[in-house]
């Protein structure tokens, strides 16, 4: 996983409209990213920011499709993406049963507003409809579960920043891209519940970058007793159907079971998970946010390993190689020599740690 590119970006829509978004308004970018993910080419955050990883994925898709690799998601490129590349958000009224790029954008916007669906499915089913109705009710709109012009405008409006009471002396924290309430709470020695309550936030909602949080004064972390790393690995391996010996071998090779390890590309913890991979696993594998704790790190890493084993049809060498090198690189170029050594070390450690 160390070779994976790290993309830490705001969950806000207001990204830079450049590169692959040049042919699209910036609101369409998360839908494009989901489409490219479906083809196994985009592995970064679904963040609505048209950055280098998005452009690279567009170029790769264009080459595979026999199109000019200009990195611009124009009409021909979107047509080649099939049902994932159309229609654009805002070109139709979205209702239950619809599928496409605009539904992907809708689900992303709902998440930004604090109504995150379990996964970005590109399909407007019952779960998404319930979230739309909740949003409409909160926004004072007609609650019909249909995404027409009024609902679209409300979703694209400026998300309200959290307001904070200032009745007691407190520290302040500027939320940076990629941060979570749990990580901020751990850093400041408080709890997620206290932090959310102090700032009137939904602890399960999306935390926008750029807002300032008031950190409760005199807070204490009082964390619950955590399992040992080995116990955590065994528990999540059983949960996701992964051989626990393989999970422990991978963790030992990555970090030696140490939770404080950080690599040069930003991979952290026992399983050496990058921010982009953590976001991907939350969005597409697990379906909800995972606390930035040692146990959470183990869970994300094991869940990602399980995902890779399914993606490579149980071929362990390729799955382990993809964990280190990235699945797109393994599919397109095979295992690098450095990756082969990593895989050999993991398999040699199996059953010994």
Q: Which residues are catalytic?
A: 254
Q: How crowded is residue 6: how many other Cβ atoms within 10 Å of its Cβ?
A: 16
Rounded distance, CA 271 to CA 166, Å?
Answer: 39
Rounded distance, CA 132 to CA 147, Å?
Answer: 8
User: Which alpha helices (DSSP H) does the chain contain, by range?
Assistant: 29-38, 52-64, 75-80, 101-112, 126-139, 149-156, 181-188, 192-199, 229-240, 244-255, 275-280, 294-311, 316-325, 327-333, 337-349
Both tokens of 296, joined, read 């959470």
CB 220 within 8 A of CB 190: yes
DSSP state of 268: B
Rounded distance, CA 351 to CA 348, Å?
Answer: 8
Rounded distance, CA 99 to CA 103, Å?
Answer: 6
Considering only CA atoms, which of 330, 304, 188 is closest in space to residue 247? 304
* Ramachandran region, residue 314 (left: φ > 0; alpha: ψ -120 to 50; beta: rest): left
Could you tell me the CA-to-CA distances from 301 to 2, 36, 143, 169, 273 in Å, in that order?
Answer: 13, 23, 40, 39, 6
Rounded distance, CA 178 to CA 6, Å?
Answer: 11
Rounded distance, CA 300 to CA 277, Å?
Answer: 9
């Amino acid at each position: 996983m160390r070779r994976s590119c790290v993309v830490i970006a705001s969950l806000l829509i207001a990204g830079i409209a450049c590169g692959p978004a040049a042919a699209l308004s910036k609101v369409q970018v998360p839908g494009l990213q989901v489409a490219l993910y479906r083809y196994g080419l985009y592995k970064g955050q679904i963040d609505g920011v048209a950055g280098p990883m998005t452009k690279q994925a567009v170029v790769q898709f264009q080459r595979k499709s026999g199109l000019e690799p200009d990195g611009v998601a124009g009409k021909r490129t979107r047509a080649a993406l099939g049902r994932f590349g159309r229609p654009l958000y805002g070109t139709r009224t979205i209702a239950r049963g619809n599928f496409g790029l605009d539904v992907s954008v809708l689900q992303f916007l709902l998440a930004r507003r604090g109504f995150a669906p379990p996964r970005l499915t590109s399909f407007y089913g019952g779960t998404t409809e319930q979230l739309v109705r909740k949003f409409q009710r909160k926004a004072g709109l007609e609650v019909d579960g249909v995404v027409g012009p009024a609902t679209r405008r409300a979703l694209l409006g400026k998300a309200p920043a959290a307001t904070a009471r200032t009745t007691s002396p407190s520290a302040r924290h500027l939320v940076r891209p990629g941060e979570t309430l749990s990580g901020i709470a751990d850093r400041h020695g408080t709890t997620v519940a206290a932090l959310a309550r102090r700032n009137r936030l939904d602890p399960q909602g999306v935390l926008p970058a750029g807002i300032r949080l008031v950190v409760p004064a005199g807070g204490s972390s009082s964390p619950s007793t955590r399992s040992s790393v080995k116990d955590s690995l065994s528990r999540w391996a059983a949960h996701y159907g992964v051989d626990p010996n393989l999970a422990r071998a991978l963790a030992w090779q990555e970090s030696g079971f140490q939770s404080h390890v950080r690599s040069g590309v930003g991979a952290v913890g026992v399983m050496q998970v990058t921010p982009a991979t953590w976001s991907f696993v939350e969005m597409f594998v697990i379906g909800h946010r995972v606390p930035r704790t040692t146990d959470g790190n183990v869970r994300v890493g094991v869940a990602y390993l399980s995902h890779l084993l399914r993606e490579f049809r149980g071929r362990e060498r390729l799955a382990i190689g993809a964990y280190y090198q990235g699945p797109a690189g393994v599919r397109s170029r095979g295992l690098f020599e450095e990756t082969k050594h990593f895989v050999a070390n993991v398999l040699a450690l199996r059953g010994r740690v």
